[in-house]
A and B are shown apart, each in its own frame.
Chain A
Amino acid sequence: MGRYVLRRLLQLIPVFVGTTFLIYVLVWAVPGDPFAGMCGERRCEPGFIQMMTEKYNMDENIVVQYFLYLGNLLQGDFGTTFSGLSVGELIELRYPVSVQLALVAVGIEAVIGLAAGILTGLYGRGFLDNLVLVATLFLISIPVFVTGFVLQILMGFELEWFPPVVGTDPSFYDLLLPGFVLGSLSMAYVSRLTRTSIAENTRADYMRTALAKGQPKRRIVGVHLLRNSAIPVLTFLGTDLGSLMGGAIVTEGIFGIPGVGGLVYEAILQKEGVTVTGVVVLLVIVFLLMNLIIDLLYAVLDPRIRYD
């Protein structure tokens, strides 16, 4: 187990370097002079361009730029934005909001998705099953921003049940509506995955054994069936949490949530490679670590899996 974890962690290093380099080069390749738009409807002062170019090493070759950046990053210095703000500080301010939103979203999708999945899995075949099937397929098919706008206008503006936008310090209730929008797609998957998993496990040998042993039905379903069916669902929820924490650019934008999504989006347009790379590095590492944790969790939940 320890060796497996170590190997996985070592594998993260090339991925980390590759990702940062890729992002840095891509942002560098975004066309446009990053400072030309900072001076309104006139040319920038030559002194200003000169100072900014030197400060952000823009006069260097891209590879040199990247290694200068990487050097600072390894010392824990995320650099500063063009407006002179510390990128590390910005991440500190905004990342918790994105994480909160992701947690709310995963919570919602887990509750609703599991409930629908268990219901159809256990009492499937029939009207309820088809209803859930069509409803989930429908949720999968609507682009997230359409769901977002429609729910914002319906629930936020017309019915006024939820605040249509979320401020800088959102409460749990504020995040419910955006969390639902963000989680709606995965909610559909969770319910389908649960249903499939239960349907498969119902026919498993251990179920027959338990039944033959004369165990009560409630115990069979509660202990054997649901526990075993939960494994793929839990791993999916974990992976989903990892990717949702990657910032929800669209959802954050619609509901005005100050998370990392908006930060990165702005930074890309401004050609602020330092900010983009800093945030994306963090997101990718979180995503990969999350996957590692899930794989390990998998081994804990399912004794048949052993890593060595």
Chain B
Amino acid sequence: MRRPRWMAAVVMPLATALVITSCGGDESGDDGDGSGANNSKNETGEITVFGTEPERPLVPGDTTETGGGKIVDAMFTGLVDYDPVSGEPRNAHADEITPSEGGKVMTFKLKEGWTFHDGSAVTAKSYVDAWNYTAYGPNGQQGASFFAQVAGFDQVNLPDPDGPEGPKPAPTPPAKTMTGLEAVDDLTLKVTFTQPHPIFRVKLGYPAFSPLPESFFKDKAAYEAKPVGNGPWKFISRVPEQEVVVERYDDYKGEDKGKIKTVRFTFPESADAAYAAVKGNQLDFLDTIPPSGLAGNIWQTDLEGRSGSAEILSLQAIAFPLYDPKYANADFRKAISMAIDRETITKTIFEGNRKPVDGYAVPKVPGWTDGACGDLCKFNPDEAKRLFEASNFSGRLEITSNADGGHKEWIEAACGSIKNTLGLDCVFVPVQTFGEVREKINAREMTQVYRSGWLADYPLVENFLNPIYRTGGSSNDNGYSNPAVDAKLAEADSAPTEEEAYELYHEAEEMIAEDMPAVPLWNTPAQYGWSTKVKNVRMTPDRELDLSYVEIA
């Protein structure tokens, strides 16, 4: 009965702007029924797509959760977007991207003739204004920190003076615009960084980097009532907590133009309700088969011939709060890892819909090879027991998570596995909301082992390691710090070739596994289903329906 909030409980995935291959437009004619009939159905066709209520108004710089993310993705196209099949970044509105010598400046040449849905032109200024708005602290935009590497960010966004809990008002930043952003002319954008930042290009597909129309800055209330984007789909209407309707934008110049006319994002009361609706052809696409459908794999018979499973950039793990001396012993942490029977749990609890991982990223990431964790991530009762006894851990083990995300079953199974192997009393401590768990983690007051799901922002192994395991990383929540790992990661970041970088990241992973700050468990592929009304259904690596590819059957 709840919203599947766990989908929002992982970091916002990379944005898609749904690039299609150049031949994509012709594919509808490939099947025998005759393209004429198909095209006419598409011309007026409408599909309903499962969604969740956006948590913030549909402003791209303020959208970092999946519910609003999939709508904002459809309505906006930035400089770069991601290939819906491979997830590779590719130029969208950017025609040419030229990093300067040394990498401190990046110049973007924009394609001509792109317009917002209100007809105004998308210019370099649209980007500069939007980005400055997002980064400016007092505007309170959720995506502000994505601009942290741009020169002048520290002048528009001041750190909170008194810690996250502080009641003191933050001082007003001295500047309203970042010095690093410059609209050279209508179609040239120049970005200067404080440090060389070559990977900026890859991040650009994220919604926070979208342009905003002039009208947004004139009247924000009017914009929120009827958002204006520049992407393949234009906003038509919104009913709070029920639906958002978008329609194909015919003047769209990008390659990922849709084939069907209308997309209706509906927000069913629960994933269970949505599942029943897909089964009964009342809903055309569902990106998450709920646990009740996965049980016994009945989804495969309920939705025979109209369901699939796709790897996404997501990893499930449990993390130790290392600032708590209780968990200081690495042998103990390794013992826990080796006491969890990943094979059996994925087979019984998940019915084989998850696959154990043997490292700190997932196979969908380009250039990543598993095995970094080695024997430490294999079920080994004898070795686990030996290490556990050497660690002198006393008391009981508590694993916590938000209760509403369908995590109870596997955490209890993991606990059962730990208890049976080590004789250590292990319990699942549910917390009502994800927010409460985050609050404790943010304040570094967590005393229990906690679930730590990670959905990568962009398809780079770097994104699975730097933010989480590097000292001071943006999501380094458990206080893990190992100078040798930091050095190795820095070395990998600046490696001359991709192959060498992947090699170095793998070595860093091996070093992390030796410390076992978090226990990697399994990847979490997305199971999805669709109605008999649609065809050409496929899911992008960030768990969204490929709107440019789908057609009416």
Name A residues whose Cβ lies closer than 8 Å to a Cβ of B. 31-52, 59, 82-86, 89-90, 93-94, 156-157, 163-165, 167-168, 249-250, 252-258, 262-263, 265-266, 269-271
Q: Compute how far the CA of A82 lies from the CA of B269 in the bound complex, rounded to whole angstroms.
A: 18
A-contact 0/1 string along B419-453, CB 8 Å cutoff: 00000000000001111111100100000000011
Name the one of B8, B144, B436 contacting A40, with C-beta atoms under 8 angstroms: B8
Can you give 5 contacting A-B residue pairs, CB < 8 Å?
A39-B64, A47-B170, A50-B170, A84-B56, A249-B1
6 A-B pairs with least C-beta separation: A253-B1, A256-B273, A37-B435, A51-B140, A46-B160, A32-B436
Q: Compute how far the CA of A93 lies from the CA of B240 in the bound complex, rounded to whole angstroms.
A: 8
Name the one of A32, A45, A262 contacting B141, with C-beta atoms under 8 angstroms: A45
Is A45 a contact partner of B243 (Cβ separation < 8 A)?
no
Name B residues whose Cβ lies closer than 8 Å to a Cβ of A. 1-3, 5, 8-12, 53-57, 64-65, 136-145, 157, 159-160, 164, 167, 169-170, 224, 239-243, 266, 268-270, 272-274, 276-277, 279-280, 282, 404, 432-439, 442, 452-455, 467, 474-475, 477
Closest Cβ of chain A to B281, distance in Å, is 11
Is B442 a contact partner of A43 (Cβ separation < 8 A)?
yes
Task: Please name the residue on chain A nearest to B159 by beta carbon.
Answer: A46
Residues of B within 8 Å of A164, CB to CB, are 276, 279-280
Q: Compute how far the CA of A89 lies from the CA of B55 in the bound complex, rounded to whole angstroms.
A: 16
Is B12 a contact partner of A40 (Cβ separation < 8 A)?
yes
Is B140 a contact partner of A47 (Cβ separation < 8 A)?
yes
Is B241 a contact partner of A263 (Cβ separation < 8 A)?
yes
Is A41 a contact partner of B10 (Cβ separation < 8 A)?
yes
Residues of A within 8 Å of B164, CB to CB, are 43-44, 46, 49
Q: Compute how far the CA of A119 lies from the CA of B269 in the bound complex, rounded to whole angstroms.
A: 40
Is B144 a contact partner of A47 (Cβ separation < 8 A)?
yes
Is B139 a contact partner of A256 (Cβ separation < 8 A)?
no
Q: Compute how far the CA of A137 lies from the CA of B221 in the bound complex, rounded to whole angstroms.
A: 56
Q: Compute how far the CA of A289 lies from the CA of B227 in the bound complex, rounded to whole angstroms.
A: 41
Is B145 a contact partner of A165 (Cβ separation < 8 A)?
no
Q: Compute how far the CA of A34 lies from the CA of B3 in the bound complex, rounded to whole angstroms.
A: 17
Closest Cβ of chain A to B1, distance in Å, is 2
Q: Compute how far the CA of A213 lies from the CA of B388 in the bound complex, rounded to whole angstroms.
A: 93
Is A93 a contact partner of B241 (Cβ separation < 8 A)?
yes
Q: A50 with B8: in contact, given A42-B474, A83-B57, A165-B268 (CB under 8 Å)?
A: no
Name the one of A33, A41, A48, A265 contacting B140, with C-beta atoms under 8 angstroms: A48
Q: Compute how far the CA of A27 lies from the CA of B494 in the bound complex, rounded to whole angstroms.
A: 50
Q: Compute how far the CA of A78 lies from the CA of B6 in the bound complex, rounded to whole angstroms.
A: 29
Q: Compute how far the CA of A45 lies from the CA of B269 in the bound complex, rounded to whole angstroms.
A: 29
Task: Please name the residue on chain B nearest to A41 by beta carbon.
Answer: B11
Known: A37-B434, A255-B273; 10 extra A-B contacts, CB below 8 A, are A33-B435, A47-B136, A48-B140, A84-B224, A85-B241, A93-B239, A256-B273, A256-B274, A256-B276, A270-B433
Q: A38 with B241: in contact, given A46-B170, A51-B138, A156-B276 (CB under 8 Å)?
A: no
Residues of A within 8 Å of B136, CB to CB, are 47
Is A250 a contact partner of B1 (Cβ separation < 8 A)?
yes
Q: Compute how far the CA of A195 lies from the CA of B60 in the bound complex, rounded to whole angstroms.
A: 62
Q: Compute how far the CA of A43 lies from the CA of B435 in the bound complex, rounded to whole angstroms.
A: 11
Task: Please name the residue on chain B nearest to A48 by beta carbon.
Answer: B140
Is A44 a contact partner of B276 (Cβ separation < 8 A)?
no
- Most interface-central of A46, A59, A256, A262 (chain B CB within 10 A): A46
Residues of A within 8 Å of B241, CB to CB, are 85, 90, 93-94, 258, 263
Name the one of B10, B240, B434, B452 contacting A89, with C-beta atoms under 8 angstroms: B240
Is A59 a contact partner of B167 (Cβ separation < 8 A)?
yes
Residues of A within 8 Å of B277, CB to CB, are 165, 167, 256
Task: Please name the residue on chain B nearest to A30 by beta carbon.
Answer: B432
Residues of A within 8 Å of B170, CB to CB, are 46-47, 50
Residues of B within 8 Å of A41, CB to CB, are 9-11, 438, 452-455, 475, 477
Closest Cβ of chain A to B294, distance in Å, is 16
Residues of B within 8 Å of A38, CB to CB, are 55-56, 65, 142, 435
Closest Cβ of chain B to A239, distance in Å, is 26
Is A39 a contact partner of B242 (Cβ separation < 8 A)?
no
Q: A32 with B439: in contact, given A253-B270, A266-B2 (CB under 8 Å)?
A: yes
Name the one of B242, B276, B282 contacting A258, with C-beta atoms under 8 angstroms: B242
Q: Compute how far the CA of A217 lies from the CA of B54 in the bound complex, rounded to whole angstroms.
A: 65
Is A262 a contact partner of B1 (Cβ separation < 8 A)?
yes
Residues of A within 8 Å of B140, CB to CB, are 45, 47-52
Is A32 a contact partner of B268 (Cβ separation < 8 A)?
no
Task: Please name the residue on chain A nearest to B55 by beta carbon.
Answer: A83
Q: Compute how far the CA of A165 lies from the CA of B277 in the bound complex, rounded to whole angstroms.
A: 7
Task: Please name the residue on chain A nearest to B476 by beta carbon.
Answer: A42
Is A47 a contact partner of B436 (Cβ separation < 8 A)?
no
Is A165 a contact partner of B55 (Cβ separation < 8 A)?
no
Residues of B within 8 Å of A49, CB to CB, are 140, 160, 164
Q: Compute how far the CA of A298 lies from the CA of B5 in the bound complex, rounded to whole angstroms.
A: 47
Task: Please name the residue on chain B nearest to A94 by beta carbon.
Answer: B241
Is B142 a contact partner of A44 (Cβ separation < 8 A)?
yes
Q: A40 with B9: in contact, given A83-B53, A253-B270, A256-B272 (CB under 8 Å)?
A: yes
Residues of B within 8 Å of A262, CB to CB, are 1, 269
Q: Compute how far the CA of A128 lies from the CA of B204 in the bound complex, rounded to whole angstroms.
A: 74
Is A265 a contact partner of B442 (Cβ separation < 8 A)?
no
Closest Cβ of chain A to B376, distance in Å, is 23
Closest Cβ of chain B to A26, distance in Å, is 14
Q: Compute how far the CA of A37 lies from the CA of B435 in the bound complex, rounded to whole angstroms.
A: 3
Q: Compute how far the CA of A106 lies from the CA of B474 in the bound complex, rounded to whole angstroms.
A: 54
Q: A36 with B442: in contact, given A46-B160, A256-B269 (CB under 8 Å)?
A: yes
Is A256 a contact partner of B64 (Cβ separation < 8 A)?
no
Name the one of A33, A50, A163, A266 contacting B439, with C-beta atoms under 8 angstroms: A33
Closest Cβ of chain B to A93, distance in Å, is 7
Residues of B within 8 Å of A50, CB to CB, are 137-138, 140, 160, 169-170
Name the one of A48, A168, A253, A263 contacting B243, with C-beta atoms under 8 angstroms: A168
Is B435 a contact partner of A40 (Cβ separation < 8 A)?
no
Task: Please name the residue on chain A nearest to B453 by beta carbon.
Answer: A41
Q: Compute how far the CA of A32 lies from the CA of B438 in the bound complex, rounded to whole angstroms.
A: 9
Name the one of A45, A89, A252 contacting B145, with C-beta atoms under 8 angstroms: A45
Q: Compute how far the CA of A165 lies from the CA of B271 in the bound complex, rounded to whole angstroms.
A: 11
Q: Compute how far the CA of A203 lies from the CA of B237 in the bound complex, rounded to whole angstroms.
A: 64
Residues of A within 8 Å of B273, CB to CB, are 165, 255-256
Is B433 a contact partner of A37 (Cβ separation < 8 A)?
yes
Q: Compute how far the CA of A244 lies from the CA of B435 in the bound complex, rounded to whole angstroms.
A: 31
Is A40 a contact partner of B11 (Cβ separation < 8 A)?
yes
Task: Please name the residue on chain B nearest to A163 by beta carbon.
Answer: B280
Task: Please name the residue on chain A nearest to B161 by beta carbon.
Answer: A46
Is A47 a contact partner of B435 (Cβ separation < 8 A)?
no
Residues of A within 8 Å of B455, CB to CB, are 41
Q: Compute how far the CA of A133 lies from the CA of B242 in the bound complex, rounded to whole angstroms.
A: 43
Residues of A within 8 Å of B239, CB to CB, are 93, 168
Closest Cβ of chain A to B305, distance in Å, is 19
Q: Compute how far the CA of A83 lies from the CA of B432 in the bound complex, rounded to whole angstroms.
A: 20
Task: Please name the residue on chain A nearest to B467 by beta carbon.
Answer: A42
Name the one of B141, B280, B437 contacting A47, with C-beta atoms under 8 angstroms: B141
Q: Compute how far the CA of A269 lies from the CA of B169 in the bound complex, rounded to whole angstroms.
A: 27
- Most interface-central of A37, A52, A255 (chain B CB within 10 A): A37
Closest Cβ of chain B to A70, distance in Å, is 23
Closest Cβ of chain A to B472, distance in Å, is 12
Residues of B within 8 Å of A35, CB to CB, are 435
Name the one of A39, A59, A157, A257 contacting B269, with C-beta atoms under 8 angstroms: A257
